[in-house]
Structure formats: C-alpha cells, structure tokens
Amino acid sequence: MKRSIVFILVIYPLVFNCTVREKPQFIGIDNFKVLDSDIESITISADAEFSNPNDLGGTLQTDALKVFVNDKEIATFSSKEFEVPSRDRFTIPLTVSVATDSIINQSNLSGLLGSLLSKKIKVQYKGDIKYKILGYASTYKVDKTEDVKIKL
C-alpha cells in the first residue's frame, strides 16, 4: 500500500503537469548568408527561429521548401526531422547548395550581372515547415526575402 501511494505521488505530477498548451511560436527567418560560392556551386544558408513554451518537444521538418535567387526558383529541398527542445528558444538551419549554372541563363543574365556588380543577390525562402507531436501536426508558412552579400 505504501508503494502505491509513493508511486502515485511521484508519477501523478509528472504525467499531469506535462503540458502541450500550444504549438511552438515561429519567430521568423534571419541570418541569411552565402556560406560558399565558386564557379561550380553556391551554398546559401538561413536560420528559422522558434520558441517552444511547452513541456514536451516534438519534431520540425521542412517539406518542399523552395529557394529563389533573383526571383528565379533554383532549388526545392526537404530536410531531416529536427528535435524540438522543451521550454526553449531554438533555431533550425535551412542550408541549400545549388549548381551555379542553374542560376545562369539568358533570361536571367542581366539580373545576375547586376548582382555581381552590386555584390548582392536577392534570396527568398518559400514553403512550409511542419511541426509534429503525439499525433498532432501543424504547419508554418514561410515566405521571407532578403538581399545577401556575395563573397567573391
């Protein structure tokens, strides 16, 4: 009988005080940068920032997130699942590497030359980030554009 009471007193608060009040808050996308650029490829990165007020974590995953450079779609990518920490503010990296020749074509040549002269490119991330926990799923819409300096 004593064991049962001790068990209930220990387990009850653990089970019933774990809350999932709301989905993690999507703060935004920032820290756009060109990580690497050369004649063959360009690697672009940004961070999606979240804040989780819940006692439980869950997972986040990008699904067919599109990357545009100078208004031209250059890549679509999906990421592995990221573990969401409980009661914490965190970021997930959104990094993509694309072939330089996918950016260069006749219709985009003037925009690309302008970007090379100004040493900036216009980068846009557009798509969805999915949150999952215990059979519950939610989606965050992403649509962020920023001018990024090119490392030459």
Give residue 12's pLDDT: 43
Longest dimension (CA), the chain: 81
> Which residue has better confidence, 128 or 121?
128
Residue 140 forms part of a structural domain: yes
Q: What is the pLDDT of residues 28-69, one digit of tens each?
A: 998 988 888 787 888 888 999 999 998 888 999 988 899 988
Give residue 90's pLDDT: 93
Per the structure, the complete domain to which residue 73 belongs is given by: 20-149
pTM of the shown model: 0.72
Residue 45 forms part of a structural domain: yes
Please name the residue that has the structure tokens 């709301």: 22
Residue 42 forms part of a structural domain: yes
Which residue spans within the chain are E strands per DSSP?
Answer: 25-37, 41-52, 59-69, 72-77, 82-83, 88-99, 120-133, 136-149
Give residue 77's pLDDT: 83
Residue 3 forms part of a structural domain: no
CATH number for the domain harbouring residue 117: 2.60.40.10
Residue 83 forms part of a structural domain: yes
Residue 66 forms part of a structural domain: yes
Residue 29 forms part of a structural domain: yes
* Domains contained in the chain, number: 1
Residue 5 forms part of a structural domain: no
